Amino acid sequence: MAQLVTQPRSGARYGVGRHWSRYRAGYLFLAPSVILYAMFMIYPFFQSIYLSFTDWNGVGEIGDFVGLQNYREMIRDDLLWQSLGHNAIWVVLGTIGPLILGLALAMLLWRQPKGFTLFRTVYFLPQVLSPVIIAIVWGWVYNPVFGLLNEGLDAIGLETISRGWLGDSSTALYAVLVAAIWAETGFVFVVFLAGLQSVSRDLLEAATLDGANAWQRLKDVTIPQLSNVITVITALLLIGGFSVFDIIFVMTGGGPNHSTEVIATYTYTEAFVQNRAGYSATLSLILTVISLVASVVFIRFRERGAQ
Amino acid sequence: MATPAAAQERPSYGTGGRRSRFRPGWSLMQYGLLTFFLLVFLVPFIWIWSSAFKESREIARDPFGLPATLRWDNLQEAWTTGQFDRYMGNTVIYCAAIVTGVVVLSCMAGYALALLPLPARGPILVVFLLGLMVPFQSVMIPIYYFLQDLNLLGTYWAFIIPGIALRLSFGIFLMRGFFRGLPPELADAARLDGANEWQTFRQVMLPLSVPGIATLVVLQFINTWNAFLMPLVFVQRDELRPVALGTLFFFGRFTADRGLIAAGVTISMLPMIVIFLLLQRRFIEGITAGALKS
């Protein structure tokens, strides 16, 4: 019994019984996960695809089959394109910002100077907190009446700049983005800190002896050795950036006047505020396609890097 | 220009550890920058924490000073009116159930996909991996109505079951990678000694995978404790809300009372900060490993 698994496949007959006894353990170990995953991942995903061809309002029987109507509406939907534009800004700045800040902080703490643990703990702290807390804290920072930012600007004589950062369509997206970069930097920082452990100090010293300055050492010696880590972080930030929801939803809810609307907040509103389950499913599939493309590009890059 | 040549001449990957010459100017600038960022990350929190200990009048008069005396009134009031005891209890239930579920199922499935004979192992793995690329938004609407049909929407299960199911992809991937790193001869030896597959897994292979499990526990714990969108959509009744969601509704209800809001936010972040300070290394190692192995 116990050795059936390792037994070589001898007998000529290969029936159901043999199949079962050979693979039984594997099936049983896998079964609970497969059942749960099929019910709450695979089935809902195909259901979403189906819903995207209906005009269901989320109540009662699933609505009429409307063919490609949702997709046609989507192409003409200015709000969607506006949201995707915000996603694009978010992804670019929200990736570059933490990458640069995280690398800078990791370099500063590379040699584990005195106070290393204190600095690392504080830089990483926002990472363990809920986005709701980050959003409320930063909502206070930006508050037009008593916010830290405006008070600070007033104190150094720049009161002309102060404003309701989140209530102003021209600044709201960037204000939320700064909060997000602030929260994300700690993650990038610790991953870089781990990556720097495998960067060869001998190479750096050799480069110094050869007369390379600090910038050249960073650009030609350190960063090439971190390229794998950079690819991983970039991919995680990119995929996270396309589906960003929490911090925007809590800080601005997509407003004012849709100036911080991204595809995830738009999908949420269509689904649970407008009750347009069909159209919302269509929007969510766009998000999936973008994530898939981003992941595939990432995997390609990684394979190329590995060669 | 000289650097690539140097790279070729000296491919040794020494462990380093040698400190470069002491340069006071650099060191001063380094600490200046480190302290500047320390303040950037800390000041917003200190501001909130100190507001939590102030009366409303004191906040209005001196919003940025440290509290003159530590007043616990706000914290007490927030704790009771904000029902934080209930929210914390709920969060503990969700974390216990989801972390356990994800870890148990991921270990079993990851083990099967790594070391047990299976037909179509590759395709099964690919189907699970695709789940990593499907954002929650793409499945939330059907899951919501599915939970409604199952009459689970008003129960703890509405967050627990999808919470486990949607994290299986990551967990299975992580644990499969871990089990593949173990020598399969160990399992064969246990089988020769008469252990069945379950005993081999439970008594030989699982104890060896504790570091992998620790990573998974840390990541799932942080994710579940801080989860927002999933409970926002699936947890309909106030008395079942986890603390992140409860904090948001608390914030919405008392926006005008700054002392109370600050106290609520402080209470809400306190458990995670304490746990983080106690288990710092595990947290940071877990997050790093989770990022680099995915």
Which tens digit of pLDDT belongs to each residue from B213-222?
A: 988 998 899 9
Q: How far apart are CA B18 and CA A307, in angstroms?
A: 32
Mean predicted confidence (pLDDT) in B173-181: 90
Q: Residue B203: is its pLDDT beyond 90?
A: no
Nearest Cα of chain A lies from the Cα of B155 at a distance, in angstroms, of 17
Q: Which residues pair with A65 in a beta bridge?
A: A54
Q: Given pLDDT bands bounded at 50, 70 and 90, which one contains residue B52?
A: confident
Report the gap between the CA of B185 and the closest CA in chain A (Å): 11
Q: Cα B104 to chain center, whole Å?
A: 17
By C-alpha distance, the chain A residue nearest B124 is A34
- Pair (A16, A147) in one structural domain: no
State whether B112 and A29 contact (CB < 8 Å): yes
Same structural domain, A101 and A239: yes
**Which pLDDT score, from 0 to 100, does residue B252 have?**
84
Q: Examine residue B15 and state whether it is found in any structural domain, yes or no.
A: no
Euclidean distance between CA atoms B246 and B269, whole angstroms: 12
Residue A194 forms part of a structural domain: yes
Residue B265 to residue A190, Cβ atoms within 8 A: no
State how far the alpha carbon of A127 is from the alpha carbons of A121, A131, B133, in Å: 10, 9, 22
> Mean pLDDT for each 10-residue chunk of chain A (307 residues)?
46 67 85 94 92 81 78 88 93 94 90 86 91 92 82 78 79 93 93 86 81 80 84 86 91 87 92 86 90 82 66
Q: Do B291 and A118 touch (CB under 8 A)?
A: no
Domain that holds residue B141: 79-293
Q: Which residues of A touch B117 (CB under 8 A)?
A: 5, 22-23, 26
Tell me whether residue B257 is exposed, middle or buried, using C-beta atoms within 10 angstroms of its C-beta: 0 to 12, 13 to 18, 19 or more: middle
Nearest CA in chain A to B202: A29
Residue A298 lies in a domain: no
Does residue B174 belong to any structural domain of this protein?
Answer: yes
pLDDT at A175: 92
Q: Is B186 within a domain? A: yes
Give the integer Cα–Cα distance in Å for B236 and B238: 7
Contact A108 B2 (CB under 8 A): no
**Beta-carbon separation of B3 and A268 below 8 A:** no
pLDDT at residue B42 above 80? Answer: yes
Which chain B residues in 88-107 lie under 8 Å from chain A, judged by CB atoms?
A: 105-106
A21 and A85 assigned to the same domain: no
Q: A135 lies in a domain?
A: yes
Number of domains making up chain B:
1
Name the token pair of B35.
């302290």
* Residue A289 maps to a domain: no
In a shared domain, residues A212 and A89: yes
Distance CA B176, CA B108 (A): 9
Question: What is the Cα–Cα distance from A157 to A151, expressed in whole angstroms?
Answer: 10
| Residue B8 contacts A where some CB pair is shorter than 8 Å | no
Under DSSP, the state recorded for A13 is: -
Answer whether B70's CB lies under 8 Å from B254's CB.
Answer: no
Flag whether residue B21 sits within 8 Å of chain A, measured between CB atoms: no
Give the HSE-up count for residue A280: Cα atoms under 13 Å, Cβ half-sphere.
24
Q: Do B226 and A131 touch (CB under 8 A)?
A: yes
Residues A140 and A252 in one domain: yes
Q: Is residue A50 situated within a structural domain?
A: no
Q: Of A120, A206, A295, which has the smallest distance from its Cβ to B133's Cβ? A: A295
Q: Are A264 and A86 in contact (CB under 8 A)?
A: no
**CB within 8 Å: A26 and B283:** no
Q: Are residues A19 and A85 in the same domain?
A: no
Residue B144 forms part of a structural domain: yes
B120 contacts chain A (CB < 8 A):
no
Using alpha carbons, select from B145, B35, B91, B57 the residue that is nearest to residue B271.
B91
Between B128, B133, B280, which is nearest A37 by CB? B128
d(CA B171, CA B165): 10
| Pairwise pLDDT comparison (B63 vs A2), residue with the higher score | B63
Give the pLDDT band of residue B25 (cuts 50, 70, 90).
Answer: low
Residue A250 belongs to some domain of the structure: yes
Mean pLDDT throughout B129-141?
88
Residue A88: partners with Cβ closer than 8 Å, 6 or more residues away: none
Same structural domain for residues A252 and A142? yes
Neighbouring CB atoms inside 10 A of B255's CB total: 11
Residues 39-78 (B) with a CB less than 8 A from some CB of A: 40-45, 47-48, 59, 63-64
Whether residue A136 is found in the same domain as residue A270: yes
Q: Which residues contact A222 (CB under 8 A, 6 or more apart)?
A: A107, A196, A199, A204
Q: Is any Cβ of chain A less than 8 angstroms from the Cβ of B218?
A: no
Nearest chain B Cα distance for residue A64, angstroms: 16
CA distances in angstroms from A210 to A202, A280, B264, listed in the order given:
12, 59, 57
Å between B196 CA and nearest CA of chain A: 5
Chain A within 8 Å of B145 (Cβ-Cβ)? yes
Contact yes or no for A130 and B196 at CB 8 A: no
* B-chain residues near A292 (CB < 8 A): 133
**Which residues are paired to A54 by β-bridges?**
A65
Q: How far is CA B158 from the centre of its chain?
A: 20
Domain around A158: 79-275
Same domain, A172 and A23: no
Q: Structural domain tally of chain A?
A: 2
CB contact under 8 A, B141 and A280: yes
- Tell me which chain A residue has its CA closest to the CA of residue B42: A122
| Residues of chain B neighbouring A41 (CB-CB closer than 8 A) | 131, 134, 139, 165-166, 168-169
Q: With an 8 Å Cβ cutoff, are A136 and B42 in contact?
A: no
d(C-alpha B289, C-alpha B280), whole Å: 14
List of chain B residues whose C-beta atoms are within 8 Å of the C-beta of residue A210: 2-3, 5-6
Cβ contact, residue pair A148, B33, below 8 Å: no
Check CB contact of B204 with chain A, cutoff 8 Å: no
pLDDT of residue B23: 58
Shortest distance, CA A176 to any CA of chain B (angstroms): 15
Q: Does B220 touch chain A (CB under 8 A)?
A: no
pLDDT tens-digit profile of A166-202?
A: 888 888 999 999 999 999 999 999 999 988 888 877 8
pLDDT of residue B290: 79
Same domain, A1 and A134: no
| pLDDT band for position B280 (cuts 50, 70, 90) | confident
* A136 or B254: which leads in pLDDT: A136
Residue A79: which residues within 8 A CB-CB, separation 6 or more?
A258, A261, A266
CB contact under 8 A, B10 and A108: no
Both A124 and A26 in a single domain?
no
Tokens, residue A257: 């006047």
As a whole number of angstroms, the distance between CA B277 and CA B279 comes to: 6
CATH number for B211: 1.10.3720.10
Q: Which two tokens stand for residue A165?
A: 């950062």
Nearest-CA distance from B86 to chain A in Å? 18
Return phi, psi of residue B43, to 5°: -60, -45
Q: What is the pLDDT, as a whole number, of residue B135?
A: 87
Q: CB contacts < 8 Å between A and B, how many?
A: 307
Give this complex's ipTM. 0.83
Q: Which two tokens stand for residue B192?
A: 């020769």
Structure-token pair, residue A269 = 């509103």
> Would residue A303 count as lying in a domain?
no
Q: What is the CATH number of the domain that holds A133?
A: 1.10.3720.10
> Quick one: closest CA in A to B294, which residue?
A232
- A146/A15 same-domain check: no
Q: Are A210 and B146 an interchain contact pair (Cβ–Cβ within 8 Å)? A: no
Does a structural domain hold residue B231?
yes
Residue A44 located in a structural domain: no
